[in-house]
Structure 1
Amino acid sequence: MSEKIRVAVIGYGNVGRFAVQAVKNAPDMELAGIVQVPRINKPAELHNIPWVDSISELEGIQVALLCTPTRSVPDAAKEILAQGINTVDCYDMHDTLADLRRELDDVAKAHNAVAVVSAGWDPGTDSVIRCIFEFMAPRGLTYTNFGPGMSMGHSVAVKSIPGVENALSMTIPTGAGVHRRMVYVQLKPGANFEEVEKNIKNDPYFTKDETHVQQVADVDQLIDVGHGVVMERKGVSGQTHNQLLQFSMKINNPALTSQIMTASARASLKQKPGAYTMIQIPIIDFIYGDPDDIIRHFV
C-alpha cells in the first residue's frame, strides 16, 4: 500500500468529532492532528493525537478538513491553501458557494493546491443526485424536501447572534421544496427576546423561509442531530412524460457530513490545482481502491 494521506481536522465541534472517526477508519489516511482555535482543554479521547493552535505546528499535512462554521470558511481556506495544503469544507450557503469557489480557485492555483467546496450532503452529494436526475429527465421539476431535523448551519448562525446562549434550528418540510424553520433559543441573562427574534429573521440563513422563534430554558434537552431528505423529480425523457424519480435518506447529520468530507479529501489529491464543487469531480475519485476493481464492483 502507498504512503497514507496525512489529514488535519480543523475544529472539534459537531462535525470535527465525527471527522476524527472517519479519518481514523479510512484505510488510506492518517490523522496527523487537530487544530482547535480558540484553545480548549484537550478531550480525554484524544490523548494520543496532536492538539495544536495552528496547522503550521503539524508536519507533512496534505489535506485539511475545515470542520468550522460556514462564515469562517472563506478566510480559513485561503490561509491554508496559501501554504500549499488542500482544503475540504462543508460551506452550506447555496446562494454564495459558486462565488466562493471562484475566489478559492485563484488562491489554490497560485499555490499548487486543491480546494473542494461545499463537500457535505446538501450542498454536496444531494447536488450530485440533482444533476443525475437532470440528465435522466432533462425537462421537469425537482423538489428537495429536508427534514424534519436539526440544521447545523442554521443553528450555528443563531448562536452567533448577540444575546443567544444556545440555539437549535429545526427544518420542517411543508412540501414541494418549501420549509419552515423552527428556532429554539436559550438567552443570556438580560437579553431581549424580541430583539433576538428580529435579528434571527433578518439573518440570510432565514430570510427565505417561514421562521418561528421560541424561547426555551435549556436547548440541550431538545437536540437530536438526526436529519433527512426526500428528493423528487417529475420530468420528461426525450418525448416521454411522467418520469418519476425519487431519492430519500434518514441520517445522522454531522456523521454523514464528515464522511463525505473525508472521501473528498481523497478525491482532492486526484485533481489538478484549483477549486471544485462535488459535481465537478468524477464519482470514482471519492472511493478508496483500485479504479478497475471499483468499476468491476459497481458497474
Structure 2
Amino acid sequence: MMNVAIIGYGNLGRGVERSIKQNSDMNLVGVFSRRQPADVQTDGAKVFVMEDVLKMKDQIDVCILCGGSATDLPEQTPALTADFNTVDSFDTHALIPEHFTKVDRVAKENQTVSVISSGWDPGLFSLNRLYAQSVLPKGETTTFWGKGVSQGHSDALRRIPGVLDGTQYTIPNEGIITRLKAGEKLTLTTRDKHFRQCFVVVAEGADKEQIASTITTMPNYFADYDTEVNFISQEELNAQHKTMPHGGTVLHTGTTHENSHQVIEYSLHLDSNPEFTASVLVAYARACVKLAQEGKFGAHTVLDIAPSYLSPKSGAELRAELL
C-alpha cells in the first residue's frame, strides 16, 4: 500500500482523488492546499494547509502535484522534490528540458524520484510518437488535438472587452487525417490541421461584429486558423458547453518498402480531460514509488519508465495476461 498526497485541489486534484479510489494499492493521505481547509470541498479526502505537508513527511510515499504549468509547477516541483517523491503534469513543451534539468539536480541531491510531464500530451502521446518513429524510421508523425475544449483559448475569449463568458473547441481536420492515412504526402500548415469553434456570451449592447473580428485576428490564438464564432446566451453556454471533453490522435505514416505503406494510429476520446490526465498521474505515481524503492533517484519522464512499472500486477501476471 502506497501513501499518496495531493498537492492542490482544482479539477485535476479532484480527478486524482477519484482515480485513487479505483486503485486498491493506494491510500490517500490527504489534500494539501493553499486555501483554508474549510474552503475546500473534496469527495471525502482530508484537507490540510500546505504548510503541514512537511510535518507529515514520514506518512507520504509520493506527492501528486496538481498545480498549473505557468507558475505553480516550475517552483513547486523542485521545492517539494527536495523532501518527497513527486509526480507532475508540466506541459509547457518548449520548457520541459529546462524543467527536467532543474528537478533532476534536486532529486539526485536529496535521493528522491520525480516523474515530470505526465499526462496524455506530453505523456502517452509522447510515448506513441517514440514507438512509431522507432518502428517506422522512414515516416512522418502528425499530432491532431480534439475535438475538445482548449482552456487557454477559452480564457483568451473571456478576456476580450464585452465578452462575459466563452468556450472554444479545437477540432481536427478529418479530411486531412483520411488523406494522410491513405498515403498522401502533404505539407501542412497550422490552418490545414485544425479548426476552431467559439461559443461566446457578450454583454448587452456589445459590438458583436467587432468582437468577432478581435477573435478571428487574435495572434497566437486564432489568427492562424479558420475560426467560427457563435454568439449564444449564458443559459445555453451553461447547458451545452461547460464540460471538459478532449482527445486527439497521433498518426504516423511510413514505409517498410517502396510498395509497403504502413500506418500507426493512437487516439483518445475523453469525456473529461482533467479526470483522464489525473488517472495517468496516478499510474505514474505508482511507477515513481517503485523507482524510489530501487534507488533510481533523479528526474524521469514517461520515455524513461518501463510500462510494467505502471501496473500493480507482478511481472509474471503481466506476461501471462498481456503478452
**Shorter-normalised TM-score: what interval?**
0.7 to 0.9
Aligned pairs (5 A) from 1:52-201:
52-54=49-51, 55-59=53-57, 60-71=59-70, 72-82=72-82, 84-152=83-151, 155=154, 158=156, 168-174=167-173, 175=176, 178-182=193-197, 201=218
Opposite residue 38 of structure 1, the aligned amino acid is: R
- Partners of 1:25 and 1:188 in 2: how far apart? 43
- Partners of 2:201 and 2:172 in 1: how far apart? 24
Residue 263 to residue 237, structure 1, CA distance change in 2 (3 Å): same
Opposite residue 15 of structure 2, the aligned amino acid is: F
Opposite residue 179 of structure 1, the aligned amino acid is: H
1:227 aligns with 2:246: yes
Residue 296 to residue 206, structure 1, CA distance change in 2 (3 Å): farther
- Partners of 2:282 and 2:28 in 1: how far apart? 11
**Superimposed CA distance per residue, residues 70-89 of structure 1 (whole angstroms, 9 cap, x where no aligned partner):** 2121101111112x211111
**Kept after mapping to 2: 8 A contact 1:114/1:268:** yes
**Superimposed CA distance per residue, residues 139-186 of structure 1 (whole angstroms, 9 cap, x where no aligned partner):** 11111111111134655x649969787653422213468234445566
- Partners of 2:141 and 2:129 in 1: how far apart? 7
- Partners of 1:69 and 1:184 in 2: how far apart? 25
Opposite residue 274 of structure 2, the aligned amino acid is: P
TM-aligned CA deviation for residue 238 of structure 1: 6.4
**Kept after mapping to 2: 8 A contact 1:109/1:274:** yes
Residue of structure 2 in register with 1:255 after alignment: 275
1:280 aligns with 2:280: no
**Kept after mapping to 2: 8 A contact 1:69/1:153:** no
Residue of structure 2 in register with 1:29 after alignment: 26
TM-aligned CA deviation for residue 265 of structure 1: 0.3
- Partners of 2:158 and 2:75 in 1: how far apart? 17
- Partners of 1:68 and 1:125 in 2: how far apart? 20
- Counting aligned pairs with the same residue, the percent is 28
Residue 106 to residue 229, structure 1, CA distance change in 2 (3 Å): same
The SS at the match of 1:70 is: coil
TM-aligned CA deviation for residue 28 of structure 1: 1.4
- Partners of 2:267 and 2:41 in 1: how far apart? 35
TM-score (norm 2): 0.77
The SS at the match of 2:99 is: helix
The SS at the match of 2:144 is: strand
Opposite residue 112 of structure 2, the aligned amino acid is: A
The SS at the match of 2:261 is: strand
- Partners of 2:288 and 2:157 in 1: how far apart? 32
- Partners of 1:265 and 1:240 in 2: how far apart? 44
- Partners of 1:159 and 1:9 in 2: how far apart? 31
Give the counterpart of 2:11 among 14, 18, 21. 14
Residue 275 to residue 243, structure 1, CA distance change in 2 (3 Å): same
The SS at the match of 1:119 is: coil
TM-aligned CA deviation for residue 58 of structure 1: 3.5
TM-aligned CA deviation for residue 187 of structure 1: 8.0
TM-aligned CA deviation for residue 287 of structure 1: 0.9
**Kept after mapping to 2: 8 A contact 1:136/1:237:** no
**Kept after mapping to 2: 8 A contact 1:151/1:169:** yes
Opposite residue 124 of structure 1, the aligned amino acid is: G
TM-aligned CA deviation for residue 230 of structure 1: 2.2
TM-aligned CA deviation for residue 68 of structure 1: 1.5
Residue 257 to residue 152, structure 1, CA distance change in 2 (3 Å): farther
TM-aligned CA deviation for residue 99 of structure 1: 2.1
CA RMSD across the alignment: 3.4
TM-aligned CA deviation for residue 236 of structure 1: 2.3
User: After alignment, is 221-230 or 6-15 more displaced?
Assistant: 221-230
- Partners of 2:157 and 2:99 in 1: how far apart? 23
- Partners of 1:159 and 1:262 in 2: how far apart? 32
TM-aligned CA deviation for residue 34 of structure 1: 0.5
Residue 105 to residue 245, structure 1, CA distance change in 2 (3 Å): same
**Kept after mapping to 1: 8 A contact 2:33/2:47:** no
The SS at the match of 2:39 is: coil
**Kept after mapping to 2: 8 A contact 1:92/1:153:** no
